[in-house]
Amino acid sequence: MDLYEHQARQLFAEHGVLVPRAEIADSPGVARDIARELGGRVVVKAQVRTGGRGRAGGVRLAEDPDAAERVAREILGMTIGGHPVRTVMLAQPVDIESEFYVSYVLDRAAGRFLAIASAEGGTEIEEVAAARPEAVARVPVDPAEGVTEEKAAEIVRAAGLPPRTAGVLARLWQVLTREDALLVEVNPLVRTTGGQLVALDGKVSLDDNALFRHARWSGRETPHDDPLEAAAAARGLTYVRLDGEVGVIGNGAGLVMSTLDVVAGSGARPADFLDIGGGASARVMSDGLSVVLSDPGVRSVLVNVFGGITACDTVAEGIVAALDTVRPAKPIVVRLDGNNAARGRAVLTDRAHPLVHQAATMDEAARLAAELAHTS
Ligand code: GDP
Ligand code: MN
């Protein structure tokens, strides 16, 4: 789970990393009041879980409360990288002397963490790494040993950071371990003209499997930025939107993931991951179809069900119900196998809808769905 900047900075502050004073606003009027409280001059920052806000115009300085209200109104009307801006943060401006980059990321392949650091912070680190790879230090961190004084000193040396940043590196490691994060990134970490080290922007991704240990996040459903994901969540569906053209619906996470692979192997790209789960009702199936079909990027749909607890005839009834309510204009390929498969296939055969095609195997279904996506 990715945290918003204002949530990340809350964790930084709790672990002793300096952050500018700031408050959140969801309307221009509130932004004006906060600006007045913070001394008039503020940085107005879009709260979206995506990078490059500054470049998109989502981070702007306002000279006084009037300007803060105006700028907040503009930023609250923006969509950045497909994410609508719902709140802004107003922060006391900081006078920057230099900007650094520091992060810890999980290196899954190596089974440990990686500290990535650079004395050239501020811009996207991928760009620094591409232009001047020697300016970006990568130091492995053994999770059992953690960031000791020696390790912090090693990172500081490798990246050419000011020696005092070692203390910040140790505190950010605490954020990572105590909060069960998989990623902690500060860009920029700045040295102010007054000589303080301040985290000006932060990104934290928490390990979803550890959320039960962090009640303050687990109880709170973060809003879905994608309207289709929000619609799916409202119906209780496990749905992730991707950017391909073949809509994928299946039962069981493993089967759905395999289906994504088989679609990719057939020369098409999956448009989503949708798991209707075990024991799905006809209602869940028709809800799922209606979400997937309303994705404008979808050109064909592949329903891949291996009936276990879920009976295939129930799934087929859900499809038939959706045909009457959603009135699809895109082809749907259905592969039913397992529990009550013959009855399920018969339900679809009886309905004889011109856009519904049946396939005997997963490979055949994926090939047909890919072909229909390219020709329909
Ligand atoms: P991002 O574009 O999403 O990474 O947003 P950031 O919060 O990192 O801000 C982008 C850039 O705006 C920073 O690298 C700074 O150069 C600048 N910036 C942000 N806050 C301040 C501030 O308080 N003072 C000054 N001088 N610059 C700031
Ligand atoms: Mn940044």
CATH at 67: 3.30.1490.20
Distance from the CA of 11 to the center of ligand 2, in angstroms?
17
DSSP 8-state secondary structure symbol assigned to residue 4: P
Task: Kindly report, residue by residue over 239-271, the tens digit of the pLDDT.
Answer: 999 999 999 999 999 999 999 999 999 999 999
- Beta-bridged to residue 305, according to DSSP, are 336
| Pocket test residue of 19, 43, 85, 88 for ligand 1, highest count of atoms within 8 A of CB | 43
Which of these three, 213, 243, 268, is where a domain ends? 213
Mean pLDDT of the chain: 94
Q: How many domains does the chain have?
A: 3
Amino acid at 298: V
Q: Which domain holds residue 171?
A: 96-213
Which of these three, 154, 183, 213, is where a domain ends? 213
Same-domain pairing of 45 and 118: no
Which of these three, 213, 236, 267, is where a domain ends? 213
Task: Kindly report, residue by residue over 187-240, the tens digit of the pLDDT.
Answer: 999 999 999 999 999 999 999 888 888 888 865 556 677 889 888 988 888 899
Same-domain pairing of 77 and 164: no
Average pLDDT over residues 74-78: 97
> Peptide bond preceding 296: is omega within 30 degrees of 0, i.e. cis?
no
Contact yes or no for 293/239 (Cβ under 8 A): no
Paired tokens of 130: 């591409």
Q: Residue 283's domain is classified under what CATH number?
A: 3.40.50.261
Same-domain pairing of 203 and 241: no
Which ranges in the chain belong to alpha helices (H)? 5-14, 28-37, 53-56, 65-76, 125-131, 149-159, 165-178, 215-218, 227-234, 253-265, 282-293, 312-325, 341-351, 362-375
pLDDT above 90: residue 279: no
**Rounded-to-integer distance, Cα 71 and Cα 59, Å:** 9
> Which residue in this structure is represented by tokens 């709140």?
87
**What is the per-residue pLDDT for 211?**
86
Of 273, 278, 239, 233, the C-alpha closest to 256 is 273
0.85 exceeded by pTM:
no
Residues 6+ apart with CB under 8 A from 316: 334, 336, 343, 344, 345, 347, 348
Distance from the CA of 344 to the center of ligand 1, in angstroms?
57
Of 62, 84, 345, 92, the C-alpha closest to 230 is 84
Backbone angles phi, psi at 326, to 5 degrees: -85, -25
Where b means 16+ CB within 10 Å and e means fewer, 270-281 reads bbbbbbbbeebe
CA geometry: angle 322, 327, 330, nearest 5 deg: 100
Task: Kindly report, residue by residue over 6-33, the tens digit of the pLDDT.
Answer: 999 999 999 999 999 999 999 999 999 9
| Pocket test residue of 48, 80, 96, 193 for ligand 1, highest count of atoms within 8 A of CB | 96
pLDDT above 60: residue 370: yes
Contact yes or no for 108/127 (Cβ under 8 A): no
Same-domain pairing of 61 and 135: no
Contact yes or no for 305/335 (Cβ under 8 A): yes
Which ranges in 77-226 belong to alpha helices (H)? 125-131, 149-159, 165-178, 215-218
What is the total residue count of the chain?
A: 376
Same-domain pairing of 177 and 242: no
Q: Is 185 a catalytic residue?
A: yes
Residue 10 lies inside a defined structural domain of this protein: no
Active-site residue identified among 120, 185, 245, 317: 185
Same-domain pairing of 173 and 267: no
